[in-house]
Chains A and B, each alone.
Chain A
């Protein structure tokens, strides 16, 4: 037992970590840490090891360490990942390069600035909109399992922003509302309890809304929650186009 532990302790892995301390330096640098390698460690465990034992100034976000709070997204060897569910063993013995999520301003080290996303979230009006709210005494709105299935996967978004880091359009056109926000809009559009679809489509049916997207599909590839934002954008485009066709060809249809 002791022997086995010693052998394990001797194995190490190299982390190349993006550092940026705005009070001390004008340009980012990379710092290399050689740390113990453990078979069952995720990248976040390695960062926590560095912070606890080597360098307390390393800055990043994390909390739940079970893939649901959405805090710990970073670029791992150039790919957006939740570091709490990305295992060292999938990279070992090669070094791992860790950077803040691409396409966002950096606050410090591995922590990005979220302001843009938070504004876009509000912009798509992600709440139930109804012409008339039923009283609670009337009980629940009925919603069959099939109706729930229509939007359920779009409701799984954890706001981790991996999709924004992966999206080449967002990188070029920061005005683009982006994959997660469109998915959330679509989550409400498809909810049988909601009546705000037209209001939201007015917001989405613009260049900055959905039409900037060229359907690269990287958002869906990197999504850790299987939300499939690319499908949400595709659906919204279809709905928007049909809406346009209806307005142009049967203008009385909307009356």
Chain B
């Protein structure tokens, strides 16, 4: 059949239709299941209807969480004030803050990987340790982190750093090593010293690939963050999902899952746009 040949050339319409097909099928399957289950039990909470989810999401963006004591004046507050104190907003801010601190802490890992690749003594000092550390399952360290750092923010951030930093270090190390030796020699013959070679020749060349590497690690960062929040936290998106699981609050959990996916998609998109703006030569190369 020609459609399944390597040289098949789907048209614009076919590509568009095929790319959205699984989304449409998933939504249709969900609606069908919901309809069936609600016909048998109108109070079914496992597959909430669209109206239930919309209502739950509206509540999440306009009302404070149950832990927060809402006063009588909250309903009369301006919209922005209500959103700012809402459950979804406070959870998103708490998770976002941890996420951003963790991603910021990954940049020293980039510098370490670069130094390890460029300076053989630094490489000899750190490489074996990083290779070993990269193989440790970060989640298995979670109890140790909670004992060592307590159950506050630090342990959750440390979990992410420990889980992702070795990969970033080794990725940067390999990328730096892959810069052709001709470029290094050329730099020396143009009068550059070790620091100029490292930070003005090698780093700018590998930076777009490093950013792409970090983009690929975003989901891993989120996984570690969610694990930490689910186990020991009093706020955050994952904390809320874990909490609502106990109450079978699928009408809120599903919008939360989609919200997290949307946030991650936007961060990824933002980093991609930034990468293109900062490194126009890379996209075209």
A and B: interacting chains: no
